Amino acid sequence: MTEEKRLAKNNRIREKGKETRLRRQSQICRVFRVKIDFSHLNEFEKTQLKMIFVEAKWLYNDVLTFSNSNEINEYDYKITTVHGLDKDKQPVIRELEYLSSQMKQSVIQGIKHNIKSLSVMKKHGRKIGSLKYKSNYESINLQQYGNTYKFCDKKHVKIQGIKRPIKIEGAEQFFDISGIEFANAKLLNLPDGYYVAVTTFQHKGGGTKKYKPEIGIDMGIKTSITTSEGKKIKVFVGETKRLKKIQRRIAKRKKGSSNRYKMRKLLRKEYQKLDNRKKDKANKIVNELLKHEKVYMQDENLSGWQKGFFGKTVQHSALGIVKAKLIKHERVVVLPKNIATTKTCPKCGKINKDITLSDRIFECQCGYKEDRDIHAAKNMILLSKNTCGTQGIFYPNAFGEDVRREHKQKCCNADLDELGSPNSYERG
């Protein structure tokens, strides 16, 4: 390629990038997961899919070793063999047969990214460790739609390096949306199977939607969510019998035995299923709540509940996910923790301090009486608008802007944790 051609090409790429960024401003980003139908693959393809992740792990660990004593940018991504240790910790040389060059690049880029985010955290005064070797590689980036992966139709996806299109489940969620655009995707190796998580962009819908009237919600332990309309929503997802059975069986197996290892794999799968059910439930609840024009809620301290005597009930509840999803939404008003939503009487405005957790009915001297949770949910709306009580109880600007900012910050840090925290690498 001549110098002139090269410059022209760079220019084209730059222009295209600009164009895309401009278009993205009027689009919303959503990530969908489709499951790979493993049973429809032939033996070779099954090995291929498995080995992609094994080789990615080998490569990852090799790059990590390299980066300990060298500049990571000097690592040759065209490499076809890597160094590693076998079961008895003896050095071996392994060949990379299944990993495509783009996948190799994405593994190496992933490490670079992690190193960078670690150094950012260090700059901000956070305590950091170093990256750990992986025993399991979970996610491979498929950089470019049409190049590293492509949907053939609703039921099939083509992935670079694998000859036949792969049968998938779940593309109906997004395939027929008009004007949908696909960005990058991730090939995932999860305890319950292989997935492709695809990032999509679609047009923001016009703002002429009709909403239901505004609603207040109270999050509690027993029924979990109560609305100001008097509806009680259960968010508890029960442990399966199978999970308990597996846990019991693991306890009986010898530590370090291959049987125990197998059982632990099963356990991870069960937890993944439980997690999926929780997410599903949370999505449905959030979707239902957001049909209302505005949702009023309080920033309740759920992690505090977990430590306390409510433990397991909270652990298996989708409440945390529901809260996290709602708090970020623009049509949700969040009241700060310190506002007494349960104790304040909406009629006279008196704060009834002697209400305890066991009082299921709120009763005020002025004669007002209501179910405790419904009362609290109704109060969310009233207190947010400073219209609670005739005596003029007034919470200056109860709208929880600060809460939201604080929460967003926490979320960002959590993202960093997932990328860079040394602890997150020692899974499984």
Stretch that binds Zn ion, among 32-40, 201-209, 321-329, 358-366 (CB under 5 A): 358-366
Q: Which residue lies nearer to Zn ion by CB, 111 or 364?
A: 364
Q: Which is nearer to Zn ion, 389 or 400 (CB)?
A: 389
Question: What does the alpha-carbon distance between residue 339 and residue 360 come to, in Å, rounded to a whole number?
Answer: 19
Residue 345: CB minimum distance to Zn ion, A: 3
SS3 317: strand
The rounded distance, in Å, linking the Cα atoms of 38 and 206 is 40
Residues in the chain: 428
CB of 201 to Zn ion, least distance (A): 51
Nearest-angstrom CA–CA distance, 425 and 64: 13
Which one of 152, 177, 361, 366 is in contact with Zn ion (CB under 5 A)? 366
Least distance from Zn ion to the Cβ atom of residue 373, Å? 18
* Cβ-based nearer residue to Zn ion, 367 or 396: 367
Confirm or reject binding of residue 295 to Zn ion (CB under 5 A).
no
Buried b (16+ CB within 10 A) or exposed e, 284-319: ebbeebbebebbbbbbbebeebeeeeeeeebebbbb
Paired residues of 166 in beta bridges:
157
* Complex with Zn ion: residue 345 or 393, whichever CB lies closer: 345
159, β-bridge pairs: 149
Whose tokens are 């109906």? That residue is 172
Q: Do 150 and 140 contact (CB within 8 A), yes or no?
A: no
Segment contacting Zn ion (CB under 5 A): 117-125, 131-139, 157-165, 363-371? Answer: 363-371
Cβ closer to Zn ion: 13 or 361?
A: 361
Cα 224 to Cα 373: distance, rounded to the nearest angstrom: 10
Nearer to Zn ion, 272 or 386 (CB): 386
Minimal distance, residue 268 CB to Zn ion, in Å:
52
Sign of torsion over alpha carbons 113, 159, 178, 19: positive
Shortest spacing between CB 336 and Zn ion, in angstroms: 23
Nearest to 223 by CA among 345, 377, 334: 377
Q: Does 382 engage in binding with Zn ion (CB under 5 A)? A: no
CB of 341 to Zn ion, least distance (A): 14
The correct pick among 75, 368, 395, 399 for binding Zn ion (CB under 5 A) is 368
- Residues between 227 and 286 with contacts to Zn ion, criterion CB under 5 A: none
| Closer residue to Zn ion (CB): 368 or 395 | 368
Among 221, 348, 403, 419, binds Zn ion (CB under 5 A): 348
User: Which of 217/364 has CB closer to Zn ion?
Assistant: 364
Q: Say whether residue 388 binds Zn ion (CB under 5 A).
A: no
When asked if residue 345 is in the footprint of Zn ion (CB under 5 A), the reply is yes
Cβ proximity to Zn ion, 161 vs 349, nearer residue: 349
- How many residues touch Zn ion under the rule CB under 5 A: the total is 7
Residue of the chain from 162, 364, 376, 416 that contacts Zn ion (CB under 5 A): 364
Cβ 240 to Zn ion shortest distance, Å: 46
The verdict on 347 binding Zn ion (CB under 5 A) reads yes
What are 262's two structure tokens?
């197998």
Q: Pick the stretch among 140-148, 180-188, 227-235, 348-356 that binds Zn ion (CB under 5 A).
A: 348-356
**What residue ranges bind Zn ion (CB under 5 A)?**
345, 347-348, 350, 364, 366, 368
